[in-house]
Structure formats: structure tokens, C-alpha cells
Structure 1
């Protein structure tokens, strides 16, 4: 084939370029084996890929937790009472944190000073903290957070009603001045709401204390990602979190209103955790959970108790001997062991030992002694003159109406039936009235249409002070709910008002002694907090409050 000079030149250039490409490739291969070369080796590429894969796996640790009702993600304003308290506590931090048996621990405030008269609190804030949107946390943000709700006339917290002023000292120092000394100020500041910190950028216009809430932006370990009303809410870890970073990447809160359906979801593996106040596990389902190879039952002593209230307006119950007799007739061990399947313990007072200021020495109550109960009724002037098994006084049978509800506490029905039969054994006729929740709470708080009524104390941070003030202390509008006693109310005032720890403990000792001596209620049982956890979950540790029932940041997924 004949070619011209141009063609020969073009072929020469192509051949030269091909040879050059071969040389470059060969040189590249040679350099890849040179240990001193800056070019990564194949081995180092594999290492980088493995590290990237591990990081990806760490970013994809997801668990699903059952909740009984919608989390209200679109309503989670830190300064309001809407949405789930549990989610509030995951997204928003407080100045302080509630620890074991009520110990107040640092949170966004690293330390604090209290004036000698107990009215001025100076908080020294943690530095370098950011909200989940990257904005700075400082004293102005604290002031903003409090001013959004502190003047609301509907707010009954003492930290609100007694607040005289809140002042920024500098970027990381703020003072709160109150009109009175009240030791539970710090306890109230640990609540899940409305005392927690929200970013000024969470409202519109930004920084306006009267602005409209737009999005939940806190300094907590978790942040809201998405939600579907009445179905699920998704939380992801906050990349700016100031504390120990959560090991999980995502927590899905799945709405399952029916308790039995929650148990089935646990068994099928559709959810990983259920229980506590977020989504209770029925007591009768405990054996099923314990028998499941994929699940573990986690039990911890609770901070509330279930007890029976006496109506002090009922003439028969104004007699101390009758109140003591009722206490002595109730077999609390049988309730715990037979009806509660061992989930709890016998009540030895109004509060369990998990509550601050409750000790072994001041935590005592009446045992089970039907013979002594009968004798006390006889001492009170009651006898069974007609042989019908019911004692009477001056021709009037000792008959009492016992009110309860079972929508929130299904176990109350069987417990009340047992108490009914036990009181009949000592000659007291009891009529059970099972009411719907609205009617039940109306009878408790408003109409007083009962002689006996089942109730429960509050939980963790609200005990003992808030419960005692709420139910054993008069208000401007009404006398005490559970039992009206001026001496008891004076002791409660002393306990909450003193800044001296020894004086406070002494006052609580006297309160618990007086409750016992006057038999102002009938103790029933102290329930345990129970949770069912899939065994793939590691690092489970029960929290110290119902609004923070789990140390979420410590949870991990085993084998991943």
C-alpha cells in the first residue's frame, strides 16, 4: 500500500503515543510497589475502604421502640406541655439533671451557687455547647428559653410563680432570684418540661420570646428527623452534642396503642424495646416475655406507689381505729406475689426507698393481722349484732364505697376485689365502683364521691415534695385532697422551705411518722418498672426518671 508523507507522519505519532502510554502504565505499576512512594498501595486502599465501611455501619445502628401514643413531634416546644415528655428529654437539656435518688447533677450548668437565704441561684454554664442547628448556647439562650413560658399564669411550678428576676451576668453566667426559699427549685429545673433550653432560632421571628414555635432545636443528644402522626417518630443523633455521643444512629418510636399488640411486636422482632410509661407491658404478659429466647425482661424498683385514699369526710373513717383496721386487713404480700406476679414489693409507707429522704428507719407501715383489725373495730364500738357478718355501730352497718378505674391500671380491678373480700372478713362491707377515667378523676378531685379510692403517687422528680404539697396540703381554693391535718401541713412547709439539709431530713422523718401514726391512707404496693428488650440490644441501663427511662446514649447493637 502506498502512503504519502503525511500518512507516515501520522502513523509515527500514533505509534509513539501508544508506546508512551505503555511506559506510563508500567511505571505506575512499578511505583505502586515502591514503599517510599506517596501513591497509596492496593493494601492501603483496602484499609481505607474497610474503615469507610466500618464508619458506614456505625452510622446505621437503628432500633425501634414502642410508644403508646403519638409523640407530637410537631408540638415539641420546650416551653410548653405538649408532646411526649420522653422525647422532650431526649431533644432538650436542662441546666441540671435528676440523678439516682434525687441527686441533682450538672447538665448545661457545670456548677451553681445558692445565696445564704436560699433565694438567689447563680448558674455557671458549660462552654462550647451548640444547639443541634449549630447555633451557640449561652446565657442569653437560657434567658430566652425561660422568658417564653415563665409569665404564663397557667404555670404552677414554683420556679415560675416565685421567679422575681432572671439576669445575664456574662456570656456563661446567669442568676435567678426568687421571692422565697424553696429547696426543690433545682429539682423542678430537672423536669422534662417546660424548663429545658431551646434555641432562639427555633421560633419565628428568631429570638422573639413571643415568636411562633417552628422546630424542636435543643442541645440534647437527639434531634427530630421525621414523623408520621399516630404512626412513628424518628430521632437521629445530634452531631453537635456536647456529651458522650450516642452509639446508635437512629431511634424509631413506633406508635402501638394496644398493650397486647406491643407484646406481639416484641415477639416478632418488629420492635426492640417496650415498657415503662412510654408503652407499658401488661403484668400478665411477663411470663411470655421471660419465656421468649430473643427477649430479656429488665426490672428496676420504681419511684411511685399505689395506695388507698380515705375520705376524711366519711364519719366512720374519722376514727383512727377504723383506719388502722383497714390497713391491717390487707394482705399486701398476696397482692404482690399472687396478683402482680412478683413485679413490685410490699408498700411500707407512702414512698419507696428510691425517693429522696425516704430511709429504712422512716419507711414503716402496718403488717397483715386480721385478728388485730377485728379487735380495733370492737374497740371503736363496732359489733355484728345480727350475725350477717357485717359489723355495725348504733344500728348502722360499716359499709364503704370503693372507687377505682382500670383503663390506666387494669390490675386495680383484681387488687380491689381482693381487698373487698379481705375487708369483709373483718366485718366491713365494700361496694366496688369501676369508673371511666374522667368520672374517676372528677370523683377524686372535685365531688369527693367515694369513701375509699385507689390512687398512685407521682414519679421520681415530683416526689416527695410535689406530691405532698399537691395532695396533703391545702390550697387557697380547697382543703387537702387525701387527708387534712394542720400539723402535717406545717411539717411540709418546713421541709420544702429550709435550706438546711439536716433540718429538711428531720422534717421529712416527722412527716412520714405522722402519716403512719394517724394511718392517713392504706398502703398497697410499690410497683417495679419493667421493660422488655430484644437481646440484640447491648448497654441497656434503666434511667432514674420516667421521662428518661433509659440511658439512651449507652444503647448499642451487639455484633455489629
Structure 2
């Protein structure tokens, strides 16, 4: 508890002492509700200060690669910028460092012993940006607008049996199965965020037409020009600590090199991350500019090479191990990526939940051992042309990639091609347009090797493993089909016991390594360039919240 300095000066020393004793006694007896009330009071004071002493215009301009979609930014839909969703709307919970689930609009929650019933205790005294009250009915309204959509594949939607308002600040969700990532899904940027019932017309109608983005978040939309810019201003009714900036301008700059030029010209203050990537080749330019700072943070995704398990040669474990041992991951990071990232030591980096130093391991670089493994698999260079053969057929593989979304894949794949040739494997590169590439990955399986990436933050590890390493009712696993691995994944996502879950993930990562079910490539860093006039920069923990926007300020460093 804080005492107003002016009041302290008017108190006698004895009276101050008595008050201090009373405060200590009350603090010792207080419960969480009292603490929350104190926190709200402090936030109110901070917010008033932000709107008073910091009322002057403090604006930061951020580059985004595509339209923000403010006119279709419905919290229960997948339209518009995911980053802007997370600035305007809040969820019941928030995604924290290494996947820790933190309170947001829900102060706390209880989970039943069987892992199927979640009771959320909501914050009091929260309002939407238009002044309407946030309560359990608003949560129910938000979820009912999208939860029954048959196109929605989130488990929190498909497994939900009931959504019950207990009282104004309590709501219960009951599911038909135990699935620990329910809370993780509730932290997503969409469609689980809470929107005001007054944001649709007719107001409060779950089938009503979306009219305006109205959330409880720290920001709200002020103006919007399609394919040009969106302007967000701080929400004066925000329940948390008020942003130090008064305004954020999101400027659409589709071309990566143009974003770099805009940074150098001072037209924008921040660029990078998933909002608008900075080309790796531009990193030295940014680092040499005294007006800019390059911010690097270890990412949550990885880039790797998928083996087609229907290709006969790749069904041999020795061949899969040999390919892994032939790839110089250190050279990829240092020579091709200019040190932006690190050597992949498994499927996921250490920033991902349940990935630890002990279960995060992979094959090193050892071309001689790779050649021995090919020989053990029965491959020899019988005609001296440098390509190994078995049963009269050369070991030749088609390697598919795309560079529209990931331009660095071309140079990486060319390096892999030359390194595999060194151990006797001929690789044919096929650069496809995105549509053809994704058709090859998901549908036709027209590849022997294909470059891919894991998902980001809140989708790892569970969602990616279920999506790529687990069969569905309609199809076999995408990356590698293994019933034992699928059983371990089912155990990991279904158990309510944290230790049992960690043990299952340890076994999953061990099996991926032992069976060399893919070829690890590299773990990319998230990079952003920031103008030095911007202070308080701190990278976020998810791609949909890449920066702690509320901490940003303008001033001397």
C-alpha cells in the first residue's frame, strides 16, 4: 500500500507510526480480493497519471506487411491482423514466458480432478472501451458467437459440452475429455478473445452483425485506411497499467526492403517479427545505423526437413541418420543466416514448454560417419561417379521447397544439396510456388524431402505434434507415421499430472531422435529493428504479442 506524500507531511510522527501498524495488520489478514482491490486502486492512480502528466502526444509508427483489417476485426473470427486482435481484445488467460499460463480477464481458475471442468473467476470493475460492463454474460456471449461453428477445430470448441454463468463474475466450462492445452488455446489471439455485446447489431445478439472492434484491451482503434494504415490509441477505461504511449500507427509496407529504407529514413520506428519481417541480408545495414538498434530474441519455432516415409530409401534408419550427420547446421547459422539463430538441437528450441536441456538433443556434423552408415545400409559407389548405389539404382532424392515466404530456404537447400552430394546422395531441388508447395506437403506427397517449419509459441509442442506427427480419422501422419509415437502424444495431451506429462514429452523427443524422423536445420531468432528514440522496448512471448506495447515510451536512452 502506498501513502500519498502530501498526506504524510501533515501527519505527526506518532500518528504515522500508528497508521503504519494498522496497515501492516490489515495486510497480514487480507485475502486475494483485498490484494486485487489494492492493485486496481494502484492501476487507477497510474492510469490517471498517464492521462494527466503524459497527456502529450507520444506516437510510435510500426511497419506491418499487410492490411490490419480493422473493419473486420471480430474477436470471434479469423479476419484481420492477429497482432491487432491481441492489442484490442483480451482473453481469460495470457500466454507467458515458455508457455506459462497467466491470469488476464480471469483472476484465477479451478480445474476438476478429472480435468474436464474449468471454473473461471473473473476480474471485477473491468469495462469495455465503450464503457459497457465486462462480466460472465459478456464471456458467454463472446464464446457462443463462434463455438458452434463447424469449421472451428480448436479443442476448446469441439470438446465443450456446456458454458454456464454461475454468477456475474464466475463462469464454468465443461468438456468431454481431459486435455491440458485447453488453457493454452484460451490464450490464443483469436477467436477466444472477449468482445463487447455492443460490438454487434442488434446488440447482444450472438448472430448479430459485427460493427466495431470493442474490447477490454489497452488499445482501441481510432482510424483506419485500407491497405495504408491503422491508428490505435490507448483505451482510457483500461483496467491495467495504462500504456505510456498515446498512439501507435500501424503503417502498411508490403516490401521488406522498403521497410528497411523507411526505418533508415525515420518514417517508421519499429519493424520486424511476424508483423513485417526484416531480410537477413539487411541486418548488417541496420547494425551499422547509429539511429537504430537491432533487437534479437530466441524464437519459438524451428526449420527442419521432412522425410517422406513412403520413399523406400528413407525407410532405412541408417539413411535417415546419414542425412542428418551430413548437414553442417553451424555453417547454416553462421554463414547463411549471419548468426541470426542457432543450430537446431531437436524439433523445438528451449523456449517451448516441456523442452529441456536433457531432452533437447540431435545429431552433430560428421560426414565420415554418414558415409559409414550408408555403407551399412548397402549403398556403395560402384562406378566411381560419386553417387552411391544399391541394387543397381542410385540414391537420388527430390527436395521440395518454396522461397516466397521463406527466401532463406533457397540458399539453405543449396547447401544441403552440396553436403549430401559429398556423402554420395544426389539431390534434385524443386522450388515451387506456395500453392503448389502446400499441395505437395499436405495432399499429393510429391516429394522425398521437403523444407518446413514448426508452429509458433502457444501452438507448440502439442498442436504441432498432433497436426504433423499424429494420424487423423481421414489420413496418416504428415511427417512420420509411428503408432508408438502417437500413443505418447495422446498421453502427453490427456494427462492432468504435470510430471507424467513431462515424462511423456521426454519420451516423445527421445523417440524422434532415436528414429531420426526428420532432419533438424536451425532455430531462427526473432529480430526487430527499433529507432533509438523509442525506450522501454521488451520483446513479447508470442508472435501475436511480439512487443510489450504498454511499456514503450519516447525519450532519451
Using the size of structure 1 for normalisation, the TM-score is 0.90
Q: State the partner residue of 1:19.
A: none
Alignment of 1:546-557 (within 5 A): 546-557=543-554
Per-residue deviation, residues 201-254 of structure 1 (Å, max 9, x unmatched): 000000000000000000000001111000000000001101010000000000
Per-residue deviation, residues 64-98 of structure 1 (Å, max 9, x unmatched): 00000001010100000000000000000000000
Alignment of 1:315-464 (within 5 A): 315-464=312-461
Report the Cα distance in structure 2 between the residues aligned to 1:250 and 1:439, rounded to whole angstroms: 41
Q: State the partner residue of 1:183.
A: 180
Q: State the partner residue of 1:285.
A: 282
Report the Cα distance in structure 1 between the residues aligned to 2:433 and 2:338, rounded to whole angstroms: 26
Q: State the partner residue of 2:133.
A: 136
- Correspondence for 2:163 among 153, 162, 166: 166
Partners of 1:58 and 1:248 within 8 A in 2: no
Q: State the partner residue of 2:294.
A: 297
- Correspondence for 1:276 among 250, 255, 273: 273
- Correspondence for 1:150 among 147, 150, 155: 147
Report the Cα distance in structure 2 between the residues aligned to 1:199 and 1:55, rounded to whole angstroms: 27
Q: State the partner residue of 2:44.
A: none
Q: Find runs of 4+ consecutive structure 1 residues off by over 3 angstroms.
A: 51-59
User: Match of 2:503, SS?
Assistant: helix
- Correspondence for 1:259 among 256, 261, 275: 256
1:279 CA displacement = 0.4
Instruction: State the aligned residue count.
Output: 510
Partners of 2:50 and 2:243 within 8 A in 1: no
Q: Does the C-alpha gap of structure 1 residues 54 and 499 become closer, same or farther in structure 2, counting only changes over 3 Å?
A: closer
Report the Cα distance in structure 1 between the residues aligned to 2:223 and 2:402, rounded to whole angstroms: 36
Per-residue deviation, residues 391-441 of structure 1 (Å, max 9, x unmatched): 010000000000000000000000000000000000000000000000000
1:59 CA displacement = 3.5
Report the Cα distance in structure 2 between the residues aligned to 1:57 and 1:317, rounded to whole angstroms: 63
1:76 and 2:73 equivalent?
yes
Per-residue deviation, residues 135-192 of structure 1 (Å, max 9, x unmatched): 0000000000000000000000000000000000000000000000000000000000
1:53 CA displacement = 13
Report the Cα distance in structure 2 between the residues aligned to 1:98 and 1:192, rounded to whole angstroms: 10
Report the Cα distance in structure 2 between the residues aligned to 1:52 and 1:109, rounded to whole angstroms: 26
Q: Does the C-alpha gap of structure 1 residues 328 and 94 become closer, same or farther in structure 2, counting only changes over 3 Å?
A: same
Partners of 2:68 and 2:230 within 8 A in 1: yes
Between stretches 51-60 and 87-96, larger displacement belongs to 51-60
User: Match of 2:306, SS?
Assistant: strand
1:58 CA displacement = 3.2
Q: State the partner residue of 2:17.
A: none
1:261 CA displacement = 0.2
CA RMSD, aligned part only? 1.3
Per-residue deviation, residues 372-400 of structure 1 (Å, max 9, x unmatched): 00000000000011111000100000000
Report the Cα distance in structure 1 between the residues aligned to 2:52 and 2:306, rounded to whole angstroms: 56
Per-residue deviation, residues 95-131 of structure 1 (Å, max 9, x unmatched): 0000000000000000000000000000000000000
Q: State the partner residue of 2:45.
A: none
- Correspondence for 1:478 among 475, 478, 498: 475
Alignment of 1:487-502 (within 5 A): 487-502=484-499
Report the Cα distance in structure 1 between the residues aligned to 2:189 and 2:89, rounded to whole angstroms: 8
Partners of 2:50 and 2:244 within 8 A in 1: no
Report the Cα distance in structure 2 between the residues aligned to 1:443 and 1:399, rounded to whole angstroms: 18
Report the Cα distance in structure 2 between the residues aligned to 1:389 and 1:156, rounded to whole angstroms: 49
Partners of 2:50 and 2:242 within 8 A in 1: no
Report the Cα distance in structure 2 between the residues aligned to 1:174 and 1:200, rounded to whole angstroms: 17
- The gaps in structure 2 that reach 5 residues or longer are 1-47
User: Match of 2:227, SS?
Assistant: coil
Q: State the partner residue of 1:520.
A: 517
Report the Cα distance in structure 1 between the residues aligned to 2:378 and 2:258, rounded to whole angstroms: 52
Q: State the partner residue of 2:7.
A: none
Q: State the partner residue of 2:106.
A: 109
Could you say which structure has the larger radius of gyration? Answer: 1
Report the Cα distance in structure 1 between the residues aligned to 2:53 and 2:487, rounded to whole angstroms: 61
Partners of 1:59 and 1:248 within 8 A in 2: no
